[in-house]
Amino acid sequence: MTVDEPLVLGIETSCDETGVGVVRGHTLLADAVASSVDEHARFGGVVPEVASRAHLEAMVPTVERACETAGIALHDVDAIAVTSGPGLAGALLVGVAAAKSLALSLGKPLYGVNHLAAHVAVDQLEHGPLPEPCLALLVSGGHSSLLRVTDVTSAIDPLGSTIDDAAGEAFDKVARLLGLPFPGGPHIDREARSGSSVAIDFPRGLTSRRDLERHRFDFSFSGLKTAVARWVEARERSGEPVPVADVAASFQEAVCDVLVRKALDAAAAEGIEDLLIGGGVAANSRLRSLAEERASKLGIRVRVPRPGLCTDNGAMVAALGSSIVSRGHAPSSYDLPADSSLPVTSVLAD
C-alpha cells in the first residue's frame, strides 16, 4: 500500500502509558494517553503486572477517545501501527493483541514497529520531515541510546547506549534519595532551578580516557547515583541539612553534561549536522538548554519535540506508521510477537 497522506492509528503500551494516536500524513489529529503512573507511585517504580492490568482496562476507552478527538470513524483509517518492542513484555502484549484485533476487524494492514524509532519519528509531527541522516539521543526511564538514523523506517544503527541504569532511572532514584516523589524527573528539574549546578562535583560516567576507548558513545549512570547517595548520607551523618536544590542541580548537570558531550561527539564523528533529542528525559529543561548552547557553537541544529510528544504516546507510533506506509513497506503478519528486547535495527517487524 502506498498512500501520500495515510490516516494511521498508533497504539503504544510498552510501559505504563496506554497511548493511542491518530495522524494523517505528518499532521497530528489526536494523542490520547491514559497513564497508570499514580498506581505505581507508591511502589517507587513501574510494576509490570499493575501496568498490564491498567492497559487492558484503558485500551478501548482510549481508542474511542482518540477517534473522537480526531473526528474520524475507525473505518476510515488506512492502517494500524503498534509498538511491538522493546518494553515490558506483558504490557506490550496487550497493545499488540488490541492492534491485531483492530486490524482484523477493520480489514486494514497492521504494522508492528520499534518503540525507539517511534521516539525519533514523532518529531515530524512538530518540525516537519526528518533530516536524514540525523543523530538521535533518546533518554527516558527505560532507555538511553545514541542512534544514527539514516532512514527512520528502515535504517537505524545504534552507536551507544547505557551499560547500566537508564538516565530516567537515575533521576527517579536520586529523587527518592532526596525525598521527592516518583517520577523524579520533573521534581529534580524544578528543585534544580534554585540550586547551584557547580556546588558538588559529581562524577561523569564513562568519560575517562580509558573508558572512552571502549565506551566512547555509551553511558553509565549507576556510579553517579551511588556518588549522590554517599554524599547525601555523609551529610545526614554529620547532622547537617541536605541542600536538596544544590544536590538536584549538580546531579542534573552531571547527567546532562555527559549526554550532550557524547551526543555532540557522535555527531562530529558521523559527520551529522542534525541532533534530535527524544524520550521523557528530553523534557528536562537543562538538557534542552545545554544541548542548544553547545550545539550552536558547532553549527549543529537541535530538534526536540514538545514535552508531551517526548514521553511515551500513541502519536509517535502513528507517526512512524505513517512514514512506513508512505514509503511502501510491507505490513506485519498476525503472528507478530511482542518482543521485549527488540533491537533498534529492526524498525518494522515482519
Partner 1 sequence: MLLAFDTSSPTVTVAVHDGEDVVAELASSETMRHGEQLTPLVDEVLRRMTITARDLTAIAVGVGPGPFTGLRVGLVSARTMAYVLEVPVYGVCSLDALAIEAVDSGTVTGPFVVASDARRREVYLATYDDAGLRVSGPDVQRPADVADSIAGRPVVGEGAALYPDAFPDARGPRRPSAGWLARCVTEERVELLDPEPLYLRRPDAEIPRAPKPVS
Minimum distance from CB of 232 to partner 1 (Å)? 9
Give the residue, chosen from 34, 56, 199, 212, that forms a contact with partner 1 under the rule CB under 8 A: 56
Minimum distance from CB of 131 to partner 1 (Å)? 36
The burial class, CB within 10 Å (0-12 / 13-18 / 19+), for 128 is: exposed
Decide if residue 42 touches partner 1 (CB under 8 A).
Answer: yes
User: What residues numbered 159-198 form the site for partner 1, per CB under 8 A?
Assistant: 173, 176-177
In sequence order, the 6+-apart residues with CB closer than 8 A to the CB of 208 are: none
Choose the contact partner of 154 out of partner 1, Zn ion, none; CB within 5 to 8 A by kind.
none
Choose the contact partner of 1 out of partner 1, Zn ion, none; CB within 5 to 8 A by kind.
none
Decide if residue 72 touches partner 1 (CB under 8 A).
Answer: no
Q: CA distances (Å), 42 to each of 13, 132, 144, 177, 179, in order?
A: 21, 42, 25, 15, 13
| DSSP labels, 22-53 | EEETTEEEEEEEEE-HHHHHTTTS--HHHHHH
Give the residue, chosen from 78, 246, 274, 312, that forms a contact with Zn ion under the rule CB under 5 A: 312
Give the residue, chosen from 37, 74, 199, 212, that forms a contact with partner 1 under the rule CB under 8 A: 74
- What is the C-alpha to C-alpha distance for residues 219 and 165, in angstroms, rounded to an integer? 9
CB of 30 within 8 A of CB of 66? Answer: yes
Q: CA distances (Å), 99 to each of 21, 59, 107, in order?
A: 12, 10, 12
Decide if residue 203 touches partner 1 (CB under 8 A).
Answer: no
User: What residues numbered 120-149 form the site for Zn ion, per CB under 5 A?
Assistant: 140
Choose the contact partner of 56 out of partner 1, Zn ion, none; CB within 5 to 8 A by kind.
partner 1
Q: Tell me the three cell numbers of residue 336.
A: 507478530
Q: Which is nearer to Zn ion, 140 or 323 (CB)?
A: 140
The site string for partner 1 over 92-121 (x = CB under 8 A, - otherwise) reads: -xx-xxx-xxx-xxxx--------------
In sequence order, the 6+-apart residues with CB closer than 8 A to the CB of 256 are: 284, 286, 287, 290, 291
Decide if residue 234 touches partner 1 (CB under 8 A).
Answer: yes
How far, in whole angstroms, is CA 14 from its chain's centroid? Answer: 11
Choose the contact partner of 140 out of partner 1, Zn ion, none; CB within 5 to 8 A by kind.
Zn ion
User: Which residue ranges are tagged as binding site?
Assistant: 115, 119, 138-142, 172, 185, 189, 284, 312
